[in-house]
Amino acid sequence: MSNRELVVLGTSSQVPTRERAHHGAVLRWDDELVLFDPGEGTQRQLTLAGVSAASITRICITHLHGDHCLGLPGVLQRMTLDGVDRPVDLYFPASGQEYVDRLRHASAAHDTLPVREHPVHGDGPVDTWPGLALHARALDHRIDAYGWRLQEPDGRRMLPDALAARGVEGADIGRLVREGVVHVDGRRVSVEEVSEPRPGQSFAFVMDTRRCDAAVDLARGVDLLVCESTYLTSEQDLADSYAHLTAAQAGQVAAAAGARRLVLTHFSQRHSDETLFAEEARGFFPDVHAARDLDRVPVPARRPSEGSQPRG
């Protein structure tokens, strides 16, 4: 199993159908498990997907329409039941605070889960944690909606042959990483000569929105883009009326952004065959995965670093 992958929980917009659960997904990223937009039934979808609710570290909600949040009470109560006592971070549009308050107190429950709320008031960086930063951008929907981007900072990859050639070993490697330079047998070794650039990976989550520049900016160069595609081009009038994207528009967003892989989800109940959405998006972007409930989609392997040859 990849240690960076998307686990699709549900793919239906507005209402669950016989084939699709309400919308929702989790992103496994090393030690983080980020839950996005828990629609109704998320708790059961987690079970079917083999993902432990107790492992969720953060929850991001794009907006407070029901297909993106009605599963929140169940998930939070389940985490309490499972004895989670570490903080869980919850990110959401600040204007949705009253709905978040109600969802967090939707039924009689003994609430001991330490939830840290992060209402988002505008575009920009929202939070950082070891090796990852969370950014938000306002999308263009009928109520406040934010898209999310997770960005790993660029780093460096150590080259074992180069280290060995210069006699750098053991504790000296740690010192080299921390201080950028180390002296071995009187010779100076810099981190640049024994490592190569390692571009950070990134992920974007673009939900309910019209076509907008913010969607493209969020997805700029990401390794994995999850994008709503509620309708097909033949329903462009519905997409415009309800402020949603068609599959073609989702493909155009991915292409304009230079994303690497596109996952389509949040399908209208009018369509039971998601391959129609993939076909349409492929007219604009090659690597398209039209999600089915419980699919697992790996974050593509890291891009090879550019302009750097191993030395040593």
Using CB under 5 A, list all residues that contact Zn ion. 13, 67, 208
In whole angstroms, the minimum distance from the beta carbon of 208 to Zn ion comes to 5
Handedness of CA 28, 34, 38, 42 (dihedral sign): positive
State the burial class of residue 81 (Cβ atoms within 10 Å of its Cβ: 0-12, 13-18, 19+). Answer: middle
Q: Which residue is nearest to Zn ion (CB)?
A: 67
Nearer to Zn ion, 29 or 99 (CB): 99
Catalytic residue among 37, 67, 208, 223: 67
123 is catalytic: no
User: What count of other Cβ atoms lies within 10 Å of the Cβ of residue 195?
Assistant: 21
Contact (CB, 8 A) for 287 and 260: yes
In whole angstroms, the minimum distance from the beta carbon of 266 to Zn ion comes to 6
Give the separation between CA 260 and CA 224, rounded to whole angstroms. 6
Nearer to Zn ion, 67 or 152 (CB): 67
Amino acid at 251: G
Contact (CB, 8 A) for 63 and 239: no
Nearer to Zn ion, 202 or 268 (CB): 268
In whole angstroms, the minimum distance from the beta carbon of 230 to Zn ion comes to 7
In whole angstroms, the minimum distance from the beta carbon of 23 to Zn ion comes to 6
Q: What is the largest CA-CA distance in the chain?
A: 72
Give the separation between CA 27 and CA 79, rounded to whole angstroms. 17
Nearer to Zn ion, 80 or 229 (CB): 229
Contact (CB, 8 A) for 78 and 53: yes
The residues assigned a catalytic role are 67
